[in-house]
Structure 1
Amino acid sequence: MTTLRIPIATQQTVMRCLRHYLALANAYLKVDYPEPKVSYQQRGTTAGTAHLSAWEIRLNAVLLTENGQRFIDEVVPHELAHLLVYKQFGRVSPHGQEWQWMMETVLGVSPSRTHAFSVVSVQGKTFTYRCHCQTHLLTVRRHNKIARQESEYRCRKCRQLLQPDPNQLD
C-alpha cells in the first residue's frame, strides 16, 4: 500500500488547529491534557477516527488533500472532542450529549456527526441493493457478508430486507 505524502505545510496547519482547540479545552476544563498523536493512515470513506486509549487521531490523507482547510476545520475538532470526552467522562455514546457539549460549549464548534466530503476517489467498488423505498450502495465487505449468509441488512426507512439489484452485473 502506498501512502499519500501530506505536505509539511498541511501537517503544520493540522497541528496549529489541534493545538488551538486543545488549548481552549485545557483552559475551559482546567486540565493539562497532552497533545495527541496525529497520523494520516485512515482509509476508506471515513474522514478521521479517534483512538481513545492510544490518545491518537487518525486522518484520511486523501480526503484531507482533496478538501484542505474545510477538512481541517471540521474533522480535527470533531476527533479531538472524542478524545477529550473519553478523558472527562470515560466511555459514553460517541456522538451523545457529552460529545455535543464538548463541541459546542468547550470548543465552540457546531457538532456534526458525519462529513459531507465527496468520497468518489476513496470509495471502493459498490453493489446495488434495493428495498421498497430506495436504492442502496453496499460496500464489497457488506455484499460479501450477504453472499456468505453471515449478515443481512435492512433499510433504515422502510425496514425491508435489502435485496441485490437483479439488473446489476458482477
Structure 2
Amino acid sequence: MPEHLLSCVEHCYQKAETFFKRSFTRPDVSFKLRGQKAGVAHLTENKLRFNPQLYRENREDFLRQTVPHEVAHLIAHQLFGLKIQPHGEEWQLIMRGVYELAPNRCHTYEVKRRMANRYIYRCSCPQGEFPFSAQRHALVSKGRRYFCRRCKVTLSFTGEQRLE
C-alpha cells in the first residue's frame, strides 16, 4: 500500500475534522480495484478501494482529486446518512467547502482496455453480429435468451470467437 496515498487519506480526514469540528471514523483502505473506476467508497462498510494501475499512471492528480472525492463520500455518509444522493448537494458541499475542489463526478484518466475474448452471436439481420462477453456467453449456456431489437429473432452463437 503506497504510503503517499494513506497519508493523503489521513490528511483529508483531518481537514474534514477541522472544518466540521468533530471526529470521523477512519476507513479500511485497499488497493484492490480494477477496471475503469479510480476509486470506490463503500459507505456501510466504511471502506475505500483504489485502482493501483490508475494511481501509478496519474499519481499527482489521483492524490489531489480522487482521494478527496472518495473520502468526501464517507464523510457525507457519516454526517448525513444513507438517504443522500452519491454526488448530491451534501457531497458537493464537502468537495467545495472542505477540499476546495470542483465536485467532478468522474475522472478523466486514460483507461487502457485489456484484450478480451468475444463470442460472436447473430440474428437474421444482414449486419446482425453481436460480440458477447464470456459472462454473457455463460448465461446463454445456462438458458438465458437474448433477442435482436430490430428483427426480434433470438441471437444464436456462431461458434466464432475473437479477441477485441
**With structure 2 as the length reference, what TM-score do the two structures score?**
0.70
Which residue in the other structure is 1:51 paired with?
42
Contact 2:33 2:49 in 1 (8 A): yes
Which residue in the other structure is 1:65 paired with?
56
> 2: CA distance between counterparts of 1:116 and 1:38?
22
Which residue in the other structure is 2:16 paired with?
25
CA pair 34-55 structure 1, distance change in 2 beyond 3 A: same
CA drift of 1:140 comes to 3.3
Which string of whole-angstrom CA distances, capped at 9 and with x for unpartnered residues, describes residues 97-146 of structure 1?
111111001222211100111111x555498xxxxxxxxxx993896599
- Between the two proteins, the alignment pairs up a number of residues equal to 138
Secondary structure of 1:49's match? Answer: strand
> 2: CA distance between counterparts of 1:76 and 1:118?
17
Contact 2:117 2:134 in 1 (8 A): no
CA pair 107-44 structure 1, distance change in 2 beyond 3 A: same
Gap runs ≥5 in structure 2: 119-130, 150-160
Match of 2:74 among 74, 83, 94: 83
CA pair 126-114 structure 1, distance change in 2 beyond 3 A: farther
Secondary structure of 1:58's match? Answer: strand
Q: Which AA in structure 2 matches 1:43?
A: R
> 2: CA distance between counterparts of 1:151 and 1:99?
40
Root-mean-square deviation (CA, aligned residues, Å) is: 3.2
Q: Which AA in structure 2 matches 1:116?
A: T
Which residue in the other structure is 1:140 paired with?
133
Which residue in the other structure is 1:116 paired with?
108
Secondary structure of 1:82's match? Answer: helix
CA drift of 1:61 comes to 0.9
Secondary structure of 1:57's match? Answer: strand
> 2: CA distance between counterparts of 1:152 and 1:51?
37
CA pair 23-118 structure 1, distance change in 2 beyond 3 A: same
Q: Which AA in structure 2 matches 1:140?
A: S
- List structure 1 runs of 4+ shifted beyond 3 angstroms: 122-127, 138-153
CA pair 73-87 structure 1, distance change in 2 beyond 3 A: same
Secondary structure of 1:104's match? Answer: helix
Which residue in the other structure is 2:97 paired with?
105
Q: What is the percent sequence identity of the aligned residues?
A: 31
Contact 1:44 1:123 in 2 (8 A): no
CA pair 66-139 structure 1, distance change in 2 beyond 3 A: farther
